[in-house]
């Protein structure tokens, strides 16, 4: 197979056009910097449990196409609650290089399941953080 850079660029341009972005150099970055929401009643912080939540089934993260094509990399810090049954609840984008990176990370966390945190051997609801790195050389 022969590498054809012109055809590759045309393909990217067509895909970006479908998503409303015709010039990948014009993609603007919208940072996110939110405050930590109050802890709901009956939910532990991750530093107040005997064992923290552990990912059981991690959903894949979808790197936003327009950001990838524009060469935009970054991070997203997500906080969320893992209920005593292992389900995810109340997902918040705390910090993100771009709002679309934060949303992609939040979507992945929402579709994931966890082994719940434990206090004295009993499963409890717990707020946990998760950091996502979006790099062009990764498989995000």
pLDDT of residue 137: 81
In the chain, the domains with their CATH numbers are 27-134 (3.30.2420.10)
pLDDT digit string (tens) for the chain, length 140 residues: 444 444 444 444 444 444 544 444 556 889 999 999 999 999 999 999 999 999 999 999 999 999 998 999 999 999 999 999 999 999 999 999 999 999 999 999 999 999 999 999 999 999 999 999 999 885 55
Q: Distance of CA 80 to CAs 17, 29, 116, Å?
A: 34, 24, 12
**In this structure, how many other beta carbons lie within 10 angstroms of the beta carbon of residue 140?**
19
Please report the beta strands in the chain, taking only residues with DSSP state E, as ranges in sequence order.
32-33, 44-45, 54-57, 74-82, 88-96, 113-115, 117-119, 122-124, 126-134
Give the CA angle between residues 59, 91, 85 to the nearest 5°: 70
pLDDT of residue 5: 45
Q: What is the DSSP letter of 132?
A: E
**In this structure, how many other beta carbons lie within 10 angstroms of the beta carbon of residue 132?**
20
34-70 in b/e form (b: 16+ CB < 10 A) is eeeeeeeeebbeeeebeebbeeeeeeebebbbbbbbb
pLDDT of residue 22: 46
Dig out the tokens for 105 from the structure.
Answer: 């990370």
Distance CA 8, CA 2 (A): 11
pLDDT of residue 118: 98
């Amino acid at each position: 197979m022969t590498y054809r850079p012109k055809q590759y660029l045309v393909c990217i341009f067509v895909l970006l056009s479908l998503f409303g972005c015709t010039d990948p150099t014009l993609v603007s970055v919208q940072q996110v910097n939110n405050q930590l929401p109050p802890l709901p009643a009956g939910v532990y912080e991750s530093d107040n449990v005997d064992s923290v939540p552990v990912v059981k089934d991690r959903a894949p993260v979808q790197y936003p196409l327009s950001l990838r094509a524009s060469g935009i990399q970054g991070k997203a810090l997500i906080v969320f609650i893992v209920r005593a049954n292992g389900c995810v609840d109340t997902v918040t984008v705390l910090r993100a290089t771009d709002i679309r990176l934060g949303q992609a990370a939040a979507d992945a966390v929402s579709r994931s399941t966890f082994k719940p945190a434990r206090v004295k051997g009993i499963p409890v609801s717990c707020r946990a953080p998760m950091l996502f790195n979006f790099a062009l050389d990764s498989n995000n």
